[in-house]
Amino acid sequence: MLAPVVGNANPLQSVQPMKAEVLKQRLERLESVLVQHGETDLALMIRPALEGSEQDLRAFLVSNELWGGAGSIADQAGMSQGQGDARREIEGALIRLGLEQIRQDVVNSRTDKWVDTFCQWRQGGF
């Protein structure tokens, strides 16, 4: 199981079904975009969270595999695509997922940083 890094006291507390569904939809979209752009290894990291329990979903959403540093999905996804449309589409999916996680307080210590960085890159035309 992934070791969560979070800002709330009980990161594995149950997510309400409707809220969990929104998070799951955002994560499914990220998985789909990754597959679409040839990032299948990164997409495969997501599948167990989507097929598992709500606790599995929550644990992945707050994991370093998703929002960590070097080697994380946030760091690596679309890098082989350069700064083109593929990378922007992947970043868009990460932004939407991250914003929903922030709204629900299901975050890793780096979620805010990544979302902010991706938004700044978009504003700057990168």
| Boundaries of domain holding 68 | 17-123
The model's pTM: 0.82
Residue 100 domain flag: yes
66 in any annotated domain: yes
Q: Can you read off the two tokens belonging to residue 25?
A: 């939809």
Segment 91-98 mean pLDDT:
96
Q: Establish if 8 belongs to a structural domain.
A: no
Query: Is 81 among the domain residues?
Result: yes
101 within some domain? yes
Q: Quick check: is 35 in a domain?
A: yes
How distant, in Å, are the alpha carbons of 16, 46, 54, 73 from that of 27? 16, 8, 13, 12
Domain presence at residue 11? no
Q: What's the pLDDT tens digit per position in 7-52? A: 444 444 554 545 899 999 999 999 999 999 999 999 999 999 999 9
Q: What distance in Å separates the CA atoms of residue 93 and residue 120, rounded to the nearest whole number? A: 15
In a domain? residue 2? no
The whole-number average pLDDT for the span 89-110 is: 95
Give the total number of structural domains in the chain: 1
Q: Is 121 helix (H, G, I), strand (E, B) or coil?
A: helix
